Each structure stands twice: as structure tokens, then as C-alpha cells.
Amino acid sequence: MEQNRIEVANWFGDLKTYPSVVVEAHSLEDLENIVNNPEKYPSPLKAVGQNHSTAQCCEADGGTIIKIKMNKILEIGDDFITVEPGVLYKDIGEKLDSLNKQHYINTEIGCLSAGSAACAATKDSSFPGEYGQVGSYISKIKLLTASGKKIEVDDQSDPEFMQALRSSYGNFGFIYEITFKTKPKQPLKVWHKSWHINDFINNLEEIKQTNAALMYYLYPFENKIAVEHRQYVDIASSKDFKYNSSLWKIRNHLWKKTAPNLGRWCEENISMDGLKYSIIDNFNALVRFGMRNFLSANNTQPGDQTIRYPDISDKSRYTFSLWAFPESRYHEVLPAYFKFCQKYYKLNNYRTNLLNVGYRIAKDQRSLFSYSFDENVMTVDPVSTSNPGWRQFLVDYNVFCSDLGGFPMFNQTWGVTKEQAEKAFGPRFEKFKKIRKNIDPTNRFLNHYFANILEEKI
């Protein structure tokens, strides 16, 4: 019998899925009721938090979307915090801050839910000796499987399964409890420097030796790059320590509001490409000047980096994509990407109406589909208000990145083909498929998006 279909969109609003059922889950009992009643709650089952993904990983056509409303902080210890899956990363960070503690990774999108962090890819620049993926600092997960079994897993009890679970994207079951590692709060030094692309490449090894986490802003049409350096200060933080609270407010407002609003306004009101992109490029130049000369401080709060976005996106929303490349080849990749963007604009009259960003991320094997599994990586992430031509640009961008040996994210790289995914992750696919099939033999949680990538039948 054909059931009614409901339209559910991601946060940005450009990706839609059509489940037969949408239901809220407020407790473990709600999740058990859903998983044990396939007639009322058809497969595939997909749990969502804020649904910020820019790829179709939460697709549930004909199935059931579960909106997670389990928002309790359950326990706080000396070096950990345990929460339910619906708690937002920003809220966890603010609770830790009140106790003079912090996340290891203060990732930009604060509306990341704990459940998504536990089983999906994230990105942030790595500090020396640390990881750049939030899931790598999750020490324990409780999972409800398709059979209704509740299991608890950590690195000590089953490191192989934990590694796969961090990359499971909800395909193993419902995650209902997550424990994050935490550490004492520490002041953060921040400074910016701008480079011409050639000078950046020539000085890249020296830049990497600054003992700082590196995020950077890429401007292919100006052949410029601005590097954001972040470095912990060796001063024990205390409640009486005086923090600079303005730097991240300014930086985040530019990133969250000013830049996307300008890009969208230019797109909607200026038809002449030359004038439109001249305004955007001049704005970017002004931002670089401000970052170099004003956005530096020795005493910022790490958690202030994390941005709280509105529950429902507004006109300042933006979208993005990502590929990561071996750090050892980035001196070839970055100039090639700049040339790709410039040539693409000449041939197709399209360029993104925002900047590009990137991160330097440490080698990390704690997730099976980690994009930095084999070595340190550096990324290339175009950002846009989804101006006309964006989707076709991403198709061609994916081909360019895959040909250069890049690694995608299944939740933040739109349009990845199974061939591109297989090239990137190779033998890890078979390992993942074996574990997934063992824990969900009836494909209760497998959607069409992952079935296509994994070449599974549902």
C-alpha cells in the first residue's frame, strides 16, 4: 500500500527527502518502540538532529525520519562529559566553560548534535599532538541495534567496532548516549597573516612549523590566502583570568552573517558579473586587511570559536563542500585548484559568490572512513549561497579532486559517486560492509544513499 510522503529538507533547504513517517523521539523507550515496529515505522530509519549535512546522508525516502529530542547532559567527570544524542555541541561547550573545562575540538558549527558527532565526519584544524575530528574524542557510545539490543562500546572493549561506529552515519542503529573526552580550559592565542599563493607555497613548510592549528581562507581569483593561526598559551586558566571576548564575535559575525548576506545581495541585485565580483573581491580584501591588523589576541576563549546558528536557516545561510588531500602533495594541489576555478569561470561563467576555506588536519585512524587515515591532510572547501551553477560546479569539482587523489566526507561532500568513494577509501569499504551487515542484516537503517555508495541491495 502506498503511503503518504512528507517533505523534509536539510538546514540549508536545498536537499529534500520524502519519508512516509516523521516522528519525534524523546527517550530511549521511544527509540525502542520505533525500531521494533516496522509496520508503523518503515525502513529506512534515519535519526536527525539539526540536519546541517550538505550531502544526502539523511535521505529516508519511503521510510522514517526520527527527530531526536533527547537533550539531557547526563554526567560530568574530571575529564569527560556524557550526554544524550540531541544535545548541541555549543550547549555542551557552554556547560564545560562554566566549569572551567573545554572540548578538545571547538568546531565551527555549534549546532552539531552529539549523535551526529558520534557517527559522522567533522572537520577542524588540528593542534599539535591532537586530532581534528570530533568523533576521535568520543570515548564511549551506547547503541540500540535493529534487533532491539542495547550495546555499550568503547576503545578498550572493541576498538575495531568503535572505529567503524565513528563512521557509521546512523547505519548501525540509534545512538542514545555519548561520552566525550574533555580537558581543562586554556587561553588561546590567535593571529592572521595573508600571502600571495606563490609565497604561501614557498613558505608552507615554515608555516607548518609555527606550532599552531591552521585554518585558512582561499581567494582563487585574487591568488591570495589568509591563514588563521591558533595556539594554546601555556598559562593555567582560572575563573579570574581575563579573556578577550571580542575577537571571535567579530570573526564569527563576518562568517555567519556579513559575508553570506553580501554574497546573496550581490547575486540578487547585480546582473553584471564584473561589478558583482568586484564588490565581493573588494570586500574580501578589506576582510583580509582587518584580520591581519586587528584580529589578533593572546587570550581568547577556545569555545568562542563555535557558532550557534539559528534552528531555521535565514537569508544569511550558506552551504559548502569539502575534499581533503595528502599534506605532502598540497603544494601541487592548491595552485591547481586556483587554476581550476579561474579556468572554470572563463569556460562556464560560474564562480562561487563566497570565499573558499581549508584546514590542516592530523593523521587519524580512529574512524574507519577518516579522510586523514594515512597521513596529515589539508583541505579545499568552496563555500556558496548556492548561486546558480553551484551544483554543476560541484560535479566538476568532485572530478577534479578525485583525480588528484582527494578524500571526501559522506555528509559534507555533495554528489560523490561510488567510484570516487571507492577510489578514496578502497579496502576499508569491505571491512565496513561486513560489520554493517552483521549488525543490521535486515537493512533496517540502510538508506538508498549509502546503499548506492556501498553497492548494497535494499
- The C-alpha angle 294, 295, 297, rounded to 5 degrees, equals 105
Mean pLDDT of 39-62: 97
Instruction: Examine the pLDDT at 1 and tell me if it is beyond 70.
Output: no
- Supply the mean pLDDT for the chain: 96
Assigned CATH for 188-417: 3.40.462.10
Q: How many Cβ atoms sit within 10 Å of the Cβ of residue 419?
A: 10
The sign of the dihedral angle between the CA atoms of 80, 83, 89, 93 is negative
Domain parsing of the chain, residue ranges: 73-185, 188-417
Could you give the 3-state DSSP secondary structure of residue 231?
A: strand
Encode pLDDT of 142-183 as tens digits: 999 999 999 999 999 999 999 999 999 999 999 999 999 999
Structure-block grid coordinates of residue 281? 573581491
Mean local confidence (pLDDT), 295-311: 95
The answer on pLDDT for 30 being more than 70 is: yes
What separation in angstroms does the CA of 448 have from each of 17, 64, 409, 445? Answer: 11, 13, 17, 10
Reply yes or no on whether the pLDDT at 188 is more than 60.
yes
What pLDDT does residue 2 have? Answer: 44
Name the burial class of residue 18, with classes exposed (0-12), middle (13-18) and buried (19+) by CB atoms within 10 angstroms of its CB. middle
CB 406 within 8 A of CB 378: no
Note the helical H segments in 209-350: 246-253, 259-269, 273-293, 330-348
Summarize the confidence of residues 334-354 as an average pLDDT: 98
Specify burial of residue 295 (Cβ count, 10 A radius: 0-12, 13-18, 19+): buried
Q: What angle (nearest 5°) sits at the alpha carbon of residue 376, between those of residues 371 and 377? A: 55
Percentage of the chain beyond pLDDT 90 is 96
Q: What is the pLDDT of residues 414-440, one digit of tens each?
A: 999 999 999 999 999 999 999 999 999
Percent of residues in the chain assigned helix, strand, coil, to nearest 5: 35, 25, 40
Residue pair 247/300 in contact (Cβ under 8 Å)? The answer is: yes
Q: What average pLDDT score do residues 17-26 get?
A: 97
Cα–Cα–Cα angle for 169, 44, 73, nearest 5°?
A: 50
pLDDT digits (tens, 9 = 90+) for 113-135: 999 999 999 999 999 999 999 99
To which H or E segment does residue 430 belong?
A: helix 428-439
* Residues contacting residue 349 through CB under 8 Å, at least 6 positions apart: 273, 389
What is the reported pLDDT for 308?
Answer: 96
Give the rounded percent of residues in the chain with a pLDDT score beyond 70.
Answer: 98
Q: What is the mean pLDDT of residues 381-393?
A: 98
Q: Is the pLDDT of residue 294 over 60?
A: yes
**pLDDT of 234-287, one tens digit each?**
876 566 688 999 999 999 999 999 999 999 999 999 999 999 999 999 999 999
Q: Select from 3.40.50.720, 3.30.1490.20, 3.30.465.10, 2.40.30.10 the CATH code of 73-185.
A: 3.30.465.10
Region 53-81: mean pLDDT is: 97
pLDDT score, position 235? 74
Determine the pLDDT at residue 236.
63
Taking the C-alpha atoms of residue 365 and residue 159, their distance in angstroms, rounded to an integer, is: 11
Average the pLDDT over 177-196 and give the result: 97
Q: Looking at the chain, how many residues does it have?
A: 458
